Each structure stands twice: as structure tokens, then as C-alpha cells.
């Protein structure tokens, strides 16, 4: 799910953090919540429908990917 291994490391130069005024912010994956979220989506179809700004058939995959890069798109849906 795009989460680093517990043993992964990142080379870090503390001076760069200071000199470039960097901020290091952690986040937490909630991958274990995906099944529950998918179940709730059925009950929230009306509310969530507005998030899908475009729908494309599978054979228009390239067009869908190009559309997804546009700033006016929230969610691009590809259906089979």
C-alpha cells in the first residue's frame, strides 16, 4: 500500500533540514480500514457520486489518464 518497511532508512543531513527550512511530517496508513470503507460506500453512494468528475470505458484508458492530470478533475473513473 505504499508504506515503507519498518527497517527502511533515509539518509538525512540535519544541516539541510535547517538550511532549507524543511519540515518532516509523519503519516499513518489506514489500510486495515479499506474493507470497512468499501462497505460504507454502498450507503453513501449519493454523497460520494459528486466526487467522480469523469467516467471512461476501459478502452479509453489513455484518455482517462490524461483527464486525471487536469486540475478540474477530482476522481476519474474507469469502468469495464
pLDDT tens digit sequence for 12-54:
999 999 999 999 888 777 778 888 888 888 888 888 878 899 9
Phi/psi zone of residue 2: left (φ > 0), alpha (ψ -120 to 50 degrees), beta? left
| Residue 53 phi, psi dihedral angles, 5° rounding | -95, -20
The reported pLDDT for the residue numbered 4 is 78
DSSP 53-77: EEEEEGGGHHHHHHHHTSTT-SEEE
Q: What does the block give as the cell for 73?
A: 478533475
Amino acid at each position: 500500500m505504499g508504506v515503507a518497511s519498518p527497517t527502511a532508512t533515509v539518509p538525512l543531513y540535519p544541516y539541510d533540514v535547517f538550511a532549507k527550512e524543511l519540515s518532516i511530517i509523519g503519516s499513518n496508513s489506514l489500510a486495515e480500514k479499506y474493507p470497512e470503507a468499501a462497505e460504507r460506500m454502498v450507503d453513501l453512494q449519493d454523497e460520494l457520486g459528486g466526487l467522480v468528475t469523469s467516467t471512461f470505458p476501459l478502452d479509453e484508458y489513455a484518455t482517462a489518464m490524461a483527464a486525471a492530470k487536469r486540475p478540474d478533475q477530482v476522481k476519474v473513473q474507469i469502468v469495464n
